[in-house]
Amino acid sequence: MKPVVWILGAGILAAFLQTTILSRINPPSIRPDLFVFLVVYLGMTRTTAQGGPLAWLLGLLKDSFAGVTFGLHGFAFVATFLLARLVVRQLNPESSLLLVLLVSCAMAVENGLIAMSLLMLADAGDGWRIVLQQIPAQVVVGALLSCFFLPFIRWDSRRARAASGSRLP
């Protein structure tokens, strides 16, 4: 229960930072999506049964703060989480380069899924074009910011391995 509360608390903090501080500082095209970092973290450290519902809850939390179609980010975050789990199962989850690439690709996948979903919605208008135009900047910002999260991911991986006595899947 403690990891669930921690992840949801981090999601509320991410929503607060994105809607207050980051929205005033950065232009919309280079505003980092802090939720994607949490979804990638879930993909690297949690099983599908644990992380899938948490990714969905984080998406619903973002939808409630962003004011967009409810469930849109929930769908995108679950799909991004599942793709991250597939990659982590096949590659070394402790690699720094993997984290940077995973966050960059997750930003692109999430924005691509949102653009496709908005394209399918009749009342969305041209919102999908705006999302697609922001993908290159989001990928670069995600790669740069993931370098700041590397020490935390390494610390948490060591802590989890020591607590379980084995390597995480």
CATH of the domain at 158: 1.10.1760
> How many independent structural domains does the chain possess?
1
Q: Is residue 169 part of a domain?
A: no
DSSP string, 81-144: HHHHHHHHHHS-TT-HHHHHHHHHHHHHHHHHHHHHHHHHSGGGTTHHHHHHHHHHHHHHHHHH
Select from 53, 169, 62 the least CA-distant residue to 110: 62
pLDDT score for 168:
46
| pLDDT-derived band at 130, boundaries 50, 70, 90 | confident
| pLDDT-derived band at 28, boundaries 50, 70, 90 | low
**pLDDT for residue 59 is more than 70:** yes
Which of 88-92, 118-122, 130-134 is modeled with the greatest confidence? 88-92
Q: Is residue 120 part of a domain?
A: yes
Q: How far apart are CA 168 and CA 12, in angstroms?
A: 26
* Of residues 30 and 114, more confidently modeled: 114
* Mean per-residue pLDDT, 23-28: 72
**pLDDT for residue 78 is more than 70:** yes
Q: Is residue 97 part of a domain?
A: yes
* Mean per-residue pLDDT, 34-38: 87
pTM metric for this prediction? 0.79
**pLDDT for residue 153 is more than 80:** no
Q: Which residues span the domain enclosing 123?
A: 2-164
125: left (phi over 0), alpha (psi -120 to 50) or beta: left
**pLDDT for residue 92 is more than 50:** yes
Separation of CA 109 from chain center:
10
Q: Is residue 109 part of a domain?
A: yes
**pLDDT for residue 122 is more than 80:** no
Q: Is residue 17 part of a domain?
A: yes
